[in-house]
Amino acid sequence: MTKYVINSKEMKTHFSTLKSLLFAVAISSSVVSTAAVAESPAIPANFVDVTSLAPTIQVHMAYFTNNNFVGTVVDGYQANTCFLHIDAAQALAKAQQAAMQQGYSLWVYDCYRPQRAVDHFMRWAADTADTATKAEFYPNLAKDTLVGEYIAEKSGHSRGSTVDLSLAKQDSSGQWQVVDTGSPFDLFDPISNVGSSGITAEQQANRQRLLDIMSATGFNVYSMEWWHFTHQPPAYTDTYFDFVVQ
């Protein structure tokens, strides 16, 4: 049997090399993480509360309530506040002006979304035994199919240029009520697709009115969700913020 003997000098050399490699990997991972998620607790100077530019916008942040597909207040939402990057916020203020001129108001469900909220979504999606909200939010889909087209590890909302919203109209008492668009916000179902054939002409007209208003002010719609719009070009393409909504 051949014996392999490594002297103390060789051992030190091998250990030093291994230590250097591990350190390089750690630094590399740290750089990737820092580039991907901006974890500063402070609200960036170029993010604003949209109501500071358009006070008449109706803000009803769904994830600051229990009435959402997770079934509870989502991590990172501490107030009913709609933050967006200044470019998207200014465009949304123009969209609100256009809506008001037609007798409507924008009704906002979500704006900037902290990365910790997205992480909460992913934990919820991984728990396939929890189907408490299935009947209301994904009645025709299996929970394990939601990640990808509806839920993702990184969201454009966390970059500050994406908003989820509908239109509202005042009733006889002057209260704003969401118009009928054929499917409610966050219904994960083909009927929520832009151009779905499973809705009435009036419902389609309401979707089209929203689409026209948003498109005219620089927003593109996501084809799977009639309520999901991103301002173009997005201010950030690979930075995801994690400050809380407060």
CATH code, 119 = 3.30.1380.10
In DSSP terms, 106 is beta-bridged to: 167
DSSP assignment of 7-36, as one string?
-HHHHHHHHHHHHHHHHHHHHHHHHHHHHH
Q: Does 17 fall in a domain?
A: no
Q: Does 27 fall in a domain?
A: no
Q: Does 133 fall in a domain?
A: yes
pTM (predicted TM-score): 0.84
- The per-residue pLDDT for range 91-127, each reduced to its tens digit, is 999 999 999 999 999 999 999 999 999 999 999 999 9
Active site annotation includes 202: no
* Tokens standing for residue 44: 């960036």
At residue 40, the pLDDT reads 67
**Domain of 198?**
42-241
How many domains are there within the chain?
Answer: 1
Residue 77: phi, psi to the nearest 5? -105, 105
Q: Which of 48, 79, 86, 45 is nearest to 61 (CA)?
A: 79
Catalytic residue among 10, 153, 202, 225: 225
**pLDDT band (50, 70, 90) for residue 38:** confident
Q: Which of 186, 185, 164, 158 is nearest to 76 (CA)?
A: 158
